[in-house]
Structure 1
Amino acid sequence: MQDDRTLLAVRALGKSVPGPRLLFQHLELDVGAGELVAIIGESGVGKSTLLNILAGLDEADEGSVAIDGTVLGALDETARTRLRRERIGFVFQAFHILPYLTLQQNVALPLTLVSPDAAAAGTRAEAMLEAVGLGGRGDGYARDLSGGELQRVAIARALVHRPALILADEPTGNLDPETAARVLSLFAGAVRDNRAAGVMVTHSDASAAIADRVLTLGRDGLVERRDR
């Protein structure tokens, strides 16, 4: 269930790549607290680029992105980095779990980057591992986990600092259908339970079906898909 608070507000966003080639323009998007939006589209239309812009990892050519009222374009790089650490969670297709850290340390990483309280970070990380069904395994390492378990660790890490915005780039691309369904259910439930705004890009109709809204990305922005 979502509420009326808009956590992500995108206005008149446009982006081109060298060539030059227009990826998209006139892009508008609002995502509320507790809402999960799926963005689909053909390869090369700029889905991952859009996510990177929303995360402040890339810059648009025009338009603005605001996260919980803070406009990314108004921040210098230091402030933008701080906002990413404190207010954004990112779930990558390739997991990006650090092999030389324990699972607890991986999950706690967003907290340890912004707070010196290592004990509190560890406690919170253990609670998040419990929430994703990996309780008691915080001392283990990535080599001991299946793909689905690694993705659950990635989701726990993305949520541990209670971000306002959670972004996911093809979060089930490397998973079998049964594991993918479990991971998607967990991800969607976490967005809603934590009152975050969630944006997931995917090529999969099955993945998109779990979202509150499905939008198709094209050159002229986002269009809501009605055939659901």
Structure 2
Amino acid sequence: MNHTPATLTVRALAKSVPGERRLFADLDLAVAAGELVAIVGESGVGKSTLLNILAGLDSSDAGAVSIEGVALGALDETQRTRLRRERIGFVFQAFHILPYLTLRQNVALPLALVSADAATIDARADAMLDAVGLGSRGDDYARDLSGGEMQRVAIARALVHRPALILADEPTGNLDPHTAGKVLALFADAVRQGDAAGVVVTHSRTTARIADRVLTLTAEGLKERHDD
């Protein structure tokens, strides 16, 4: 039996949206270091909202989220921001890539925010760009990228500071199948080799197959899914 302490612990989480429509309630989740969990579910069920709550970007109506034993609800906004910078990597659906920065500068942002030295920042950023197939593009500006290239930069940025918790919202939604396969392998390796906890929200069966567990989000919480 695995007795590794959970990096991410969620207890009795509940969230409703305006009009008192419940997204989910009584949601429990524990993700250990080195474990990758995929969350699937119907559109509108609250998958992206759940990720935002796990990252401390949104609040729940009830319940608690802890990262490495630190309860998000016990932190003020400054402390939550510091925790996100240092311990969380997030791949957003909308990328949030800064068009006026180079690819290297975009990927390096998490390292710069935690005051890594310049040599480490450049070396790690270049290594991550190479890992997602953009190693020759470090000096290019993000405004010149396609959607799929922006997605790869977003994934490199989320992984570069070796976070304890990696959250991803449809991380391969804009990638061709070949690139998606390479990026998924990178994502899974980053979780398992870096002893991070990974949570990925996806509609893709291919993405879900790389996970250690697949859970379906419902109004009653998370349910184990077993594919054929």
The TM-score bracket by the shorter chain reads: over 0.9
- 1:153 correspondence with 2:153: yes
Residue 225 (structure 2) aligns with: 225
State the distance in 2 between where 1:59 and 1:147 align.
30
Whole-angstrom CA distance in 2 between matches of 1:106 and 1:3: 37
Q: Would you say the 8 A contact 2:8–2:66 is kept in 1? A: yes
Structure 1, unaligned stretches of length 5 or more? none
Aligned 1:201-212 pairs, distance under 5 A: 201-212=201-212
Letter of the 2:21 partner, please give it.
R
* CA shift for structure 1 position 116: 6.3
| Runs of 4+ in structure 1 over 6 Å off | none
Q: Cα distance, 1:22 vs. partner? A: 0.7
Quick check: 1:68 aligned with 2:68? yes
* Higher mean C-alpha displacement, 27-36 vs 181-190: 181-190
Code of the residue aligned with 2:141 in structure 1: it is: Y
Q: Return the TM-score normalized by structure 2.
A: 0.92
Q: What's the CA shift for 1:126?
A: 1.8
CA shift, 1:145, in A, is: 4.1
For the Cα contact (< 8 Å) 2:41–2:217, is it kept in 1?
yes
Give the length in aligned residue pairs: 227
> Residue 14 of structure 1 contacts residue 62 of structure 1 at CA under 8 Å; is this kept in 2?
yes
- 2:112 aligns with 112
Q: In structure 2, how many angstroms separate the alpha carbons of the residues matched to 1:212 and 1:144?
A: 36
Give the drift of 1:3.
7.9
Question: Structure 2: any 5+ residue segments left out of the alignment?
Answer: none
Three-state SS of the structure 2 residue aligned to 1:86 is helix
For 1:9, the equivalent position in structure 2 comes to 9
User: How far apart are residue 171 of structure 1 and its match?
Assistant: 1.2
CA contact (8 A) 1:93 1:172 kept: no
Identity of aligned residues (%): 75
Q: Cα distance, 1:144 vs. partner?
A: 4.8
Q: Any idea what the Cα deviations from partners look like across 1:85-135, whole Å, max 9, x if unmatched?
A: 111101122322211111110011011122163343222212222333333
Contact 1:6–1:68 (CA<8 Å) still a contact in 2?
A: yes
Match of 1:35 in 2: 35
Offset at residue 18 of structure 1 (A): 1.0
Do structure 1's residue 49 and structure 2's residue 49 form an aligned pair? yes
- AA aligned to 1:85 is R
Could you say which residue in structure 1 is the equivalent of 2:96? Answer: 96
Match in the other structure for 1:87: 87
How far is 1:183 from its partner?
2.0
